[in-house]
Amino acid sequence: MMDHLKQYIIHSTSFSNNKPLHFLDVPLSEQLNIAALIKNNQGVLLTEWVAPNQTTKSTHWFTLYLLSDASIYCVQSPLKQTRPTILDLSSQFPVCNRLQRAIYELTRIPTRHFKDKRYWLNHGYFPLGILRDNGSTKPARTLHYAFKKVTGDGAHEIPVGPVHAGIIEPGHFRFSVVGERILKLEERFGYTHKGIHQLLKNKYIEDASTLIGRVSGDSTVAYALAFAQACEQCRGYITNSNVILERNIFLERERLMNHIGDIGAIINDAGLPALQSSFSCLKERLLRYNAHYMKHRYMMDCITPFSQNMRLSHTPLKSMITELIEIEKELRSLHKIVETHGGLQDRLQTTGIISTEQAHQLGLLGLTAKASGIDLDIRCLPPMDGITPNFISARTTITGDVAARVEMRFKESFDSINLIRKFIKQLEANTSLTHDHEHTLPTKIGIGIVEGFRGPVTVIVSLDNNRVEWCHFHDPSWQNWLAVEYAIFNNIVADFPLINKSFNLSYSGQDS
């Protein structure tokens, strides 16, 4: 496989802990072959997008892949200047069905021989082609969305959403059922589309960092960090090692508080609100400490590109160690209760199963993939120099049910606690607090990939002096929403809230 890809490599660099990143320039016709090659070698698609090339005044189609051998491949193909089209990759990576529909709505660049003409993001509220540089937009029509029908004796539909109970974000779920048994689920999103891709264009870097940290509020650190990595790579800027450690502390705190909150929410949907309250109290404690350390409960705006200033002094670091000791003790006690509660485990086990084969076929990412036995985590990939990475060993479970997704959250929570301790220890050992920085060769585009609590958050940026020329970002919820449709099959309608919560995917991150 490598020999086939090497012939197209035009540039290689590194990102995040010196991991290898390769840029490939291939003919359009070769994109499908590369997608099949990467799929057959256990690789996953991180994202695809279309963007202008200001140097050549042309438009390029990009695909970004992650391989299990630690390699990242950014594959680009120039498009025709008149009537440009891209290829359908959904036979290899099903998420491309939705991505390609979104690309058409945003750029008016269609997918060749692609039969699904339904709008994905657009509900008729913004013109088609809003991201086209030439201003060639077209009014969007408000069309009836044709859900795929299931017919037969006793089959009927149950529509749920887009408005849900409580403060949950909007999304529509169309169930085809016989009695209580679910035969099919089809999703529709786009209700929270905010046009952030367009808003980012021509923004000053600092303003863009603030904006991108609000794509999905529960992943604000992951998005801000990925954006910072992308900008710094674009400029060839090497960040101070202490700042990198501090950023990773923020990231692991975000992972920890979200996993604890999610475990509690799953338990609540299983009918144990008293037990759920203990997890809510733990999460609230973390949020209050965040506000004390970083002046914001969810740590918004704590990471900015090119910053060499430390936000955490010696005193909060000491306080954080004490805080984590108490939280770990309580979390291990709660873990034992969850593991040994027969009624709870009966509710969680064998519910909402995604097999390893299904996870691979769907190209799932992050915690959802790990719970089904796929061992991919950006934090665990070895760097280019072969030195063992200073991170956790990847962990997986194989049952792929709600119980597995709960167990993965516990495992990652304990790993996050240990990682934060390790980072604090390294910070205290680093006596050199110099703010000097180095530069490497800049790149035309910068790529940041961060393992958020749901999976890899990806940000790609092109800079023009101190402004963003264009920026593409991608939430792992794009891939993992597909899993909900498969996990619910043959379960009953009353299982949907539990199964859906076990994934806890972002509507806002998917809609962008």
**What residue ranges do the domains of the chain occupy?**
2-107
Burial 97-109 (b: 16+ CB within 10 A, else e): bbbbbbbbbbbbb
Low-confidence ranges of the chain (pLDDT < 50): 384-389
The whole-angstrom separation of Cα 143 and Cα 29 is 32
- What pLDDT, on the 0 to 100 scale, is given for residue 512? 83
DSSP string, 113-143: T------SS-SSSS-BTTT-TT---BPPP--
Residue 178 structure tokens: 């016989």
Phi, psi of 109, rounded to the nearest 5 degrees: -95, 110
Phi, psi of 352, rounded to the nearest 5 degrees: 65, 55
Dihedral angle computed from the Cα positions of residues 427, 428, 434 and 436, in that order, rounded to the nearest 10 degrees: -10
Q: Which residue has the tokens 């209050």?
A: 288
The whole-angstrom separation of Cα 393 and Cα 405 is 18
The whole-angstrom separation of Cα 464 and Cα 471 is 11
The whole-angstrom separation of Cα 18 and Cα 4 is 24
Residue 372 structure tokens: 């089904």
Specify the CATH number for 2-107; select among 3.20.20.450, 3.40.50.970, 2.40.100.10, 3.30.460.80.
Answer: 3.30.460.80
CA angle 268, 286, 420 (to 5 degrees): 115
Q: Report the SS3 class of residue 506.
A: coil
- What pLDDT, on the 0 to 100 scale, is given for residue 7? 82
Q: Supply the pTM of this predicted model.
A: 0.95
Instruction: Give the burial class of 404: count Cβ atoms within 10 A of its Cβ; 0-12 exposed, 13-18 middle, 19 or more buried.
Output: buried
The whole-angstrom separation of Cα 501 and Cα 351 is 12
Q: Report the SS3 class of residue 294.
A: helix
Phi, psi of 237, rounded to the nearest 5 degrees: -100, 130
Mean of the per-residue pLDDT values for the chain? 91
